[in-house]
Chain A
Amino acid sequence: MLDIEKLSVARDGKPILKEVSLHLHPGELTALLGPNGCGKTTLLQALAGILPASGTVRLGGAVVPRGRAQRELFSYMPQDGGAVSSLSVIEVVLLGRLASLGLRVPRPLLDEAAEMLDTFGLLPLAGRGLGALSGGQRQMVFLAQALFAKPKVLLLDEPTSALDLRHQLTVLEHVRRLARERGIIAVAALHDLGHAARHAGRVICLADGGVLAHGAPAQVLNEALLRRLYKVKAEVAHGRDGALHITPTEALEG
């Protein structure tokens, strides 16, 4: 269980997050929703220790100190930045445990990296350069890299934005399965409400530097909330199988 107490982050003197308090559960995917600029990336980066923040973060009851311990527990996957190099797939995964790499790569580490690639079905691509892969495959490699660090908390910043439909579903299904199997706390900032509704166990809606709403998708995502959060008109329907169907129809005046 991840307890975030009064997390505040400011950038260039302007407050982005104001005393945000949250509880996140392991074994499921939590979706972070909100319009551009509401602080999703800021929240993820503050948890990962990339941005300075005030407040307390507790993992399993124990306070997480800033620095190395934080880096070992939290694994952050940034948005697909587009910086591609000719490093091979297995080298990229190995970088997930940067601190363990020295003059030589320890044999057990190499084996673990190969196993990680195998779980994702990427082993045949192990020797290929990153630039030779498709966007979807690259994203899977970076996901493997993030998980290779054996984090307790996985922070994903828009992991599906640049991907085609099939890869979007593959990535989300992988994240859900791994969160369930390894008891990881997985948080993903998402733009696609359909994905959030289908794959997330809980959603957190950020607006104006704070949490607007949180809870199970079916309870939280309704037309009134979406109007307030995204300033869009949307139709929310509950399907036969209990699934939530969200159809945005109109952008409202800002």
Chain B
Amino acid sequence: MTAQISTGSATGRATYGAQMARRMFWLGLMLGALLTLALADILTGPAFLNVFAVIRALFSPASADPTVRVVVHAIRLPMTSMALIVGASLGLAGAGMQTILGNPLASPYTLGFSAAAGFGAAVTILFGLSLPLIPQLTVPVMAFVAAGVACAMVYGLAHLRGASSEVMILAGIATLFLFQSMQSLIQYMAAPEVLQEIVFWLFGSLLKATWFSVAVSGAVLALGAMLLARDAWRLTALRLGDARAQSLGVNVRALRLRGFATVSLLTAGAVAFVGTIGFVGLVAPHLARMLVGEDQRVLLPMSALMGALVMCGASIASKLISPGAVVPIGIVTALIGVPFLFALILTRRARHW
């Protein structure tokens, strides 16, 4: 009997160990790919920089060429950092949203947060609003606040009518359409130059990245990641359905509301400074899931990684498409993301996502 037990546990350990090793491999591989792409992103731009000059500028700035140093530290590095942070935030938010709503089509935008943020920005631009002391931050702050209002709407409805995924999706769709139509109203009311500014904001662009916005978005990402990490196993249990998760001792309602608040924070943090960047939050979790499965301890970081990867790729593409100019990244993410999605659809063998 003892021999039987030890063989059993050895087999179990071997199977599980192999599973985890595979996942760690993919995590490591994608991290390496990300660092490579991030470096490539720093190199790319209206002026192509030399690899060695950039590396010197990054790691021993004192001995680097002063022009390269300035370009890298003042322009390129903030943009690349922003791409990484926004991509990671959206990937993470997307993974959280898909698990909480139990829906593979969910994205950070399903519940209307980005539509609200867009409305906030549009109102600010149309009426020329300006906050005292921090006039240059008015648009991001208003976008964040508007996203917060949308979050409160959905949260309130879910709190009142029971936090099931159906209620949340319905509330989210209502919020989405409300803010989208208000956004359209603003655009209708705007003069051509103002309209251009609004639309440009909605495209999403990394050009506005400053070290300040990088720091704020980075802090939001760190906070959101920490909050989701604490619930990792409970979110994994939620993948088995509400009834089973409850039977395992998970307070499903509290988990859903908590997760939702975190996801809206991450989304607002990503969208407020950079504008609406679509697709990343939808596709990154699926790519991650294909590689590492449903264990949220691994899926959440992997979704962040894949999101950052897609954003980095999109950033490079946005600089190469039109030489000398930078196409707004929000336009490019869908172009980069769609081939990934097609590949996903065509190669999927499993019936269950």
Contact = CB atoms under 8 A, between A and B. Distances in A.
A64 interface: no
A252 interface: no
A164 B5 CA distance: 30
Contacts of A112: 9
Given A115-B9, A117-B8, A131-B350, A98 B247 contact: no
B244 A83 contact: yes
B16 A50 contact: no
A217 interface: no
A83 B101 CA distance: 13
A71 B13 contact: no
B247 A114 contact: no
A94 B241 CA distance: 16
A17 B248 CA distance: 24
A85 B239 contact: yes
Interface residues of B, number: 37
A127 B19 contact: yes
A81 B249 contact: no
A165 interface: no
Contacts of B11: 114, 123, 126
A114 B244 CA distance: 21
B44 interface: no
A98 B234 contact: yes
A229 to B, nearest CB: 26
Most chain A Cβ neighbours within 10 Å, of B233, B241, B249: B249
Contacts, number: 116
B237 interface: yes
Chain A CB count within 10 A is highest, among B15, B234, B289, for B15
Nearest to B234: A98
Interface size range of chain A in the complex: 35 or more
Contact of B12 (A77, A87, A90): A90
Contacts of A129: 293, 350, 352
Nearest to A104: B297
B348 to A, nearest CB: 11
Contacts of A48: 247
A95 B236 contact: yes
A123 B12 contact: yes
Contacts of B289: 86
A234 to B, nearest CB: 31
Interface string B1-37: 0001100111111011011000000000000000000
Contacts of A87: 236, 239-240, 293-295
A94 B351 CA distance: 23
A109 B70 CA distance: 54
Given A126-B12, A131-B350, A76 B247 contact: yes
- The winner among A82, A85, A88, A90 for most chain B CB atoms within 10 A is A85
A127 B297 CA distance: 17
B8 A115 contact: yes
Interface string B227-251: 0000001101101111110111110
Interface of B: 4-5, 8-13, 15-16, 18-19, 102, 233-234, 236-237, 239-244, 246-250, 289, 293-295, 297, 350-353
Counting from the closest, the 3 A-B pairs by CB-CB distance are A114-B12, A83-B241, A111-B9
9 contacts: A78-B246, A86-B352, A96-B248, A98-B248, A102-B233, A110-B16, A114-B10, A126-B11, A142-B244
